[in-house]
Chain A
């Protein structure tokens, strides 16, 4: 009897085991299916962008539109690259993005170092101020920032009171200024510097090294990962920036690629295939940078919550 019972238990167990074994497989298949669907839906706008960028003019106006283009028309890309303003816009975008990145790296690391590793009066207050400024919404400040950039003394024909000229409007300096250092960048660097053990700088300090030497020779080389995060995030946000270039410049010569894209899209002779070719050209560099720096950037994005 005891033998029979143990037999029946075993049989039941093996049926259950088969079901148990099949369940994860089915779940995995359903899971992959859902993920693939979501991934395809997320990618669809990019795929349409690239697909349209290779279409010839008549194909763009077909309805319903074809997802796979009939041929690869590289002419759209050539039209963008050889358009009279593109070169200028690329140079403007690069100067703006690289200038903003460089100034963030320099100014935020200096300030972060002071807040993390130096003793001075008012330190608590200044740190609280930086954290407080994290909360100031930048986009709601477009009006006063425009006026301040216009009234920088001695710039653009201004007198010492900031009157009479155009200040830094329509200059690279003016575009870079509102993005040149951010509370987030200072906060990020300060947090990173605080975590470096004090032993690293103690012997240098005993040798009488100045703070700048300690910063430059000891701390900064240890902070390469944090600098990479700050660099990538600064470049990305400046490259993608729209509102500051829009407000702080009004001449065609100062337009960035983002402004240029908006201009050709809203222009009277806009061609969707050319617009999409330009959108592709603007998007690809950022995606490439991201793929290389993915691990760091995602950590940074979590710290900042949201860029900008």
Chain B
């Protein structure tokens, strides 16, 4: 390392140039797909760009409009409800699965694989299958309810139930992710702590409550942020399963953004929605990264 700092100016120039050539393609793609869009969104949100008429600068009008837009507020409410509904059960199920699978026993890997399968499935395939499961007249979910003597439900066709139905499907798809991350976190807890607790006569439940859960707190927080960020951006499942209906009860921010831009060609207004979402998610991500760093240190 020391010898390189004494290299000639030409050598340093070549080294610089070489490194930039290695980096150029990847950085160009990141610039076009992430950096420029992030900046462009903010710029566009200050205009009424729609490509149907000349664009004018409108200042903060789009944001003021968002404040008084009942539909957008409903979407924010729906997104928040969805996010809360998905995050907590996903983490609890993921933790339980991870604790159960964190010791050696026959078929351990088989169980882990099964719990992880929903994560691998394409969102669209999963969504299509769940539309069938929820089918009111011939679907297995209602078949199951009827066999228990319960009344069948309209699931995705009911404004009261549709969001819950989407949440159940999302928890099914995501708890494998939580399990894998918790399993990694559990391996970092030293075995000696458990042994000491066992010698002191602590039971299984006490160990889980007093040792495992507190020792995993940074993993838990990190996971929570990941799930919140991911749930805030839900789109595919809504697009396939409900189309935002019935009565706008499942319309989320990204879905409304998609409709505003590509349905009503109000790109400027959609950009304002996108900017709001962007900063909310960025805030969560920064907090999450800080916590992950602290966990590593």
Q: Which residues of A contact B (CB under 8 A)?
A: 28, 31, 34-35, 38-39, 42-46, 48-49, 52, 60-65, 67, 103, 106-108, 110-111, 113-115, 118-121, 123, 126, 130-131, 133-148, 177-181, 183, 186, 210-212, 215, 236, 239-240, 242-243, 246-247, 258, 261-262, 265-266, 272, 275-276, 279, 282-283, 286-287, 290-291, 294, 298, 301-302, 305-307
Contact = CB atoms under 8 A, between A and B. Distances in A.
Interface string B44-87: 10000000000000000000000000000000000000000000
A64 B26 contact: no
A52 B27 contact: no
A114 B22 contact: yes
Contacts of B121: 46, 240, 283, 286-287
A48 B133 contact: yes
Interface string B10-36: 000001101110110111011011111
Nearest to A137: B281
B37 A63 contact: no
7 contacts: A64-B142, A110-B25, A120-B16, A121-B16, A177-B32, A305-B181, A305-B222
B26 A111 contact: yes
B102 to A, nearest CB: 12
B37 A148 contact: yes
B29 A63 contact: no
Contact of A110 (B26, B120, B226): B26
Interface string B240-264: 1000000000000010011001100
Interface residues of B, number: 90
B138 A60 contact: yes
A93 to B, nearest CB: 10
B271 A144 contact: yes
A303 to B, nearest CB: 9
A154 to B, nearest CB: 15
A111 B25 CA distance: 8
B124 A130 contact: no
Contacts of B115: 38-39, 42
Given A63-B137, A110-B22, A140-B278, A298 B116 contact: yes
Contact of B132 (A52, A137, A282): A52
Given A111-B26, A302-B181, A143 B125 contact: no
B117 interface: yes
Contact of A143 (B18, B138, B226, B267): B267
A118 B254 CA distance: 40
Given A38-B97, A133-B35, A135-B285, A110 B143 contact: no
A108 B129 contact: no
B132 A144 contact: no
B33 A178 contact: yes
B34 A136 contact: yes
A103 B235 CA distance: 26
Nearest to B174: A306
Given A46-B117, A180-B29, 4 more contacts: A136-B38, A143-B274, A240-B121, A242-B239
